[in-house]
Structure 1
Amino acid sequence: MFDSNIPYESRGGMTGRIKSSVSTSPSIAIIFLCVISFFLELVPGIGPLYISAFQFDPHYLMARPWTLVTYIFLHIGLLHLFFNMLVLYFFGTALERRVGNKQLLGIFFTAGVLSAIGYAFLSQPIFNIYPNKSVVGASGAVYGVFAALTVLEPNIQVYVYFVPMRLKHALLLFAVFDFLMVNSSDMIAHTAHLSGLFVGLYMGFRMKKIHEKYMRSRYDGRW
C-alpha cells in the first residue's frame, strides 16, 4: 500500500493522483471500525473472548500472526479510544490530503504492525523491559501518522492541552515523554509508541525525498 514512487503535494494541494475526500477517507473508515470494535468488546459473554482472540501477545506472535493487525482495533476504556481517534481524525485526514488514501493506509498499518514487533523484540534488550503483557490500541499506528505528517509539514500549529505549538515541537514533546516513561508501571506500551514514531519518521523522510526529487525533475524539464 505504501508506494514510495508517488510524490506528495505540499500544503494540502491536490493533483489528479493525490486527493482525498471525507466520503472516501480511510481515517474516518478506521475510526468507524474502531468504534464498532469497541462496542463488541462491551458485549457480555462475547467481549472477553473477542479481546482474547484479537489482542497482541508477544508470547504467541508466531502462532497468532493476525494479531499484529487486529490489536490496532481494540481499546481498553472510552478515553483510550477517544484520544486515539481524535488524533487520527485530525492528523490522519491532514496526511491523506497530502499523500493520498493508499499512502495513508500504508503508513498507518506499517507503523501499527512494526510498533507491535518493536514492543515484542526491542523492549528487553534496549530498555530492560520484559514484554509480558498483551497490547491493544491504535496508538503505535497513530504515532506513525503523527510522525510522517510532522516530517512533511513540521510547522503546522497545533494545540497540546490548550498550549499552541508547532507540530514538530509537539512530536518532540511526546517522544521525550514516552522515552522518560518507558520504565514506568503505567500500563502503557511506551516502546510500541516509540517504534511507531520512528517508522513514521522513516516513511515521512522517504516520501519527502521522493517529492523533492520529483519537483527537481519537473523544474529541470522546463529548461
Structure 2
Amino acid sequence: MTSIFDDIRHAFTRGSNAVTQLILINVIVFVSLILVRTISFLTGFSSVYDLITLNLGMPAHILRFLFKPWTIITYFFTHEQFLHIIFNMLNLYWFGQLIREYLGNKKLVSLYMLGGLAGGLLYLLFYNLIPYFEHRAAFSIMIGASASVLAIIVAAATLLPDYTFNLILLGPVRIKYIAAFLVVLSISGAVGDNAGGNIAHLGGAVIGFIFIKQLQRGTDLGKPIHAVNDFFQGLFSGRPRMKATFNRTNATGAAAAGTASRPNQSEIDLILDKISASGYESLTKEEKQKLFRASQK
C-alpha cells in the first residue's frame, strides 16, 4: 500500500506526464467517493455521501450554481459509475497522449480545463435560456469528464485528422471519423435522458476545435490556465522565485541566441501540416526537435 502512495506522490512531484496526472486525479476522486459511499451507507449516514456529491456536481439552475461556483471545475473530475470513468479515462489516455506528444503537457492540461469549463457554461446556458430545458434545471446536476475528454479528442482530430487508431472489429480508423461519430452521438442525445451531459460534450468539442485553430494562427487560448497553474505550483512547491541577472556586454548576444533556439509559429505550422499529411515519422530530426522546443514554451 505504501508503494502505491509513493507512486502517486512521485507522479505529481517528479513526473512530467500530464495524462497520468489527470487520470490519477479522476481515479482518486472516484475511489474516495466509493469509500465514502460504502462507509456512510453501512453506518446509516447516507446523507453524508449525498451532501458530498451535491457539492461536487454542477447544478443546472443558475441560482443554485451561484452558491456553488466551484462546481464548474469539480464536476469534470467526478464520476460515480464504473463504466463512465473507464470510458472517459481510456479516451483521455489514447487521445491525450497524442496531444501531449505533439503539443506538450501544458496544452493538454489547458484543453482539459477549457473543455470542462466550456461544457459547463453551455450546460448552464441551455438549461436556463431554452424553454425546453427550463423545467429540468431545478433538479439536474452534472458530473463527469466527458466534456473535457471530447475537447481533447476533437483537438487531436483537428491537429492530426488522418492519424489512425486500430479499433477492435473495425481495424484502422482515422481519428477524424472517431471524433465526428462522438460529436454526432452527442447531438443526437441532446434531447434525451442525458441531455445536459451531451450538451456539455458539445461545448467541449467546440473549444477543442477552436483551440487548435487559434493555436495554428499563433494564439494560445490556454495562457490563463498556464498562469494559474504556474502560480499554484510556485505556491505549493515552497521554492523561492529565482532572479536572473545579466552581464550587459553579453545580454544582446544571449537574447539573440535564445530567440534563434525557439521556432516561430510559421515553422510550427509547416511541421504540423507535414504531420497531418504524412504522419509524425515523416519529420526530420531537426523538425522533431523544433516541435519539442515549441511544446515547452
Partner of 1:214: 266
- C-alpha distance in structure 2 between counterparts of 1:217 and 1:129, whole Å: 42
Structure 1 stretches of 4+ moved >6 Å: 216-219
TM-score under structure 2 length normalisation = 0.61
Larger Rg: 2
Task: Tell whether the 8 Å contact from 1:143 to 1:196 is kept in structure 2 after alignment.
Answer: yes
Q: Aligned partners of 2:189 and 2:168: how far apart in 1?
A: 19
Write the distance in 2 (CA, Å) between the matches of 1:159 and 1:53: 39
Amino acid at match of 2:85: L
Opposite residue 51 of structure 2, the aligned amino acid is L
CA contact (8 A) 1:140 1:196 kept: yes
Selected match of 1:71 from 62, 72, 75 = 75
**Which amino acid is 2:201 matched to?**
H
Q: Which runs of 5+ in 1 are unaligned?
A: 1-21
CA distance in 2, matches of 1:169, 1:193: 16
1:145 corresponding residue in structure 2: 152
Aligned to 1:82: 86
Cα shift readout 1:84-135 (whole Å, capped 9, x = no counterpart): 0000011112101111111111111011011011011035656933352100
RMSD value over aligned CA atoms? 2.6
Identity value in percent: 24
Higher normalized helix content (fraction of residues): 2
Quote how far apart the aligned CAs of 1:151 are.
Answer: 0.9
Q: Distance in 2 between matches of 1:216 and 1:197?
A: 23
Aligned to 2:55: 53
Question: Deviation per CA, 1:193-213, whole angstroms, max 9, x where unpaired?
Answer: 111000100001111233994
Greater shift in the superposed pair: 116-125 or 201-210? 116-125
Query: Does structure 1 residue 171 correspond to structure 2 residue 175?
Result: no
Deviations 1:132-190 (A, max 9, x none): 21000000000111111111111111245642321111111111111122111246611
* Structure with higher RCO (Cα < 8 A, 6+ apart): 1
Work out whether residues 127 and 183 of structure 1, in 8 Å CA contact, stay in contact via their aligned partners in 2.
no
Equivalent residue runs for 1:131-210 within 5 Å:
132=137, 133-159=140-166, 162-163=169-170, 164-186=172-194, 189-210=197-218
